[in-house]
Amino acid sequence: MLFRCQPGYELHLERELRPLGLAMTDNGGGWLQTPDTAADISDLCFAHAALLSPQEITGESVNALAARILDHFLESARAERFETPWPLVFDCAATPDGLGRRAAAVEKTFTALLRKRMSRVARLATPPNRISSFPPSTPQPLPSSPQSFSPFPPRGLFVCFTGFQRAHVARERISHGQRRMADDPLAPSRSYLKIEEAYGILGREPAAGETVADLGAAPGGWSYSAAKRGARVIAVDNGPLKAGALDNPLITHLREDAFRFDPTTSPAGGKAPADWLFCDLVEDPRHVLENIILPWLDRRWCRRYIVNLKFGRTDPIALLKEVRARIPTARVRHLYHDREEFTLVG
Ligand SMILES: C[S@@+](CC[C@H](N)C(=O)[O-])C[C@H]1O[C@@H](n2cnc3c(N)ncnc32)[C@H](O)[C@@H]1O
In tens, the pLDDT along 77-132 reads 999 999 999 999 999 998 888 999 999 999 999 999 999 999 999 999 985 434 34
CA distances from 334 to 43, 55, 105, 233, 303 (A): 11, 27, 30, 25, 22
Pair 134, 233 in one domain: no
- Do residues 234 and 123 share a domain? no
Look up the CATH number of the domain holding residue 134: 3.30.2130.30
Residues in contact with ligand 1 by the CB-under-6-Å rule are: 188-189, 191-192, 216-222, 236-239, 257-259, 280-283
Phi-psi region of 20 (alpha: psi -120 to 50; beta: other; left: phi over 0): alpha
Q: Does 72 map to a domain? A: yes
Same domain, 168 and 195: no
Closest residue by Cα to residue 132 from 74, 81, 92 = 92
Q: Could you tell me if 30 and 115 lie in one domain?
A: yes
Which residue segment(s) compose the domain that 152 sits in?
A: 2-175
Q: Are residues 168 and 201 in the same domain?
A: no
**Quick check: is 161 in a domain?**
yes
**Following CA atoms 220, 226, 231, 232 in sequence, which dihedral angle do they give, to the nearest 10 degrees?**
-20
- How close is the Cα of 44 to the center of ligand 1, in Å? 27
Q: Is 310 noted as a catalytic residue in this protein?
A: yes
**Number of structural domains, the chain?**
2
Note whether 311 and 169 are same-domain residues.
no
Pocket test for ligand 1, best of 237, 248, 290 (most atoms within 8 A of CB): 237
- Does residue 202 sit in helix, strand or coil? helix
Query: pLDDT for 132-188, tens place per residue?
Result: 433 444 444 444 444 444 445 678 999 999 999 999 999 999 999 999 999 999 999
Specify whether 199 is located in the same domain as 100.
Answer: no
Domain assignment present for residue 316? The answer is yes
Note whether 93 and 3 are within 8 A (CB).
Answer: no
25 and 77 share one domain: yes
Do 83 and 221 have their domain in common?
no
Q: Indicate whether 310 belongs to any domain.
A: yes
Whether 186 is covered by a domain: the verdict is no
Question: 3-state DSSP call for residue 123?
Answer: helix
Looking at the structure, tell me whether residues 202 and 163 fall in a common domain.
no
* 128 and 217, same domain (yes or no): no
Nearest-10 crossing angle of helices 316-326, 10-17: 50
Summarize pLDDT for 9-38 with one digit per residue, the tens.
Answer: 999 999 999 999 999 999 999 999 999 988
Q: Which of 189, 280, 310 maximizes ligand 1 atoms within 8 Å of its Cβ, making it the mutation to test the pocket?
A: 280
SS3 for 211-248 is EEEEECCCCCHHHHHHHHCCCEEEEECCCCCCHHHCCC
Q: Is residue 288 a part of any domain in this protein?
A: yes
Query: If you take atom 27 of ligand 1, which residue's CA is the nearest one?
Result: 218
pTM for the predicted model, two decimal places: 0.91
- Numbers of helices and strands, H then E, in the chain: 9, 16
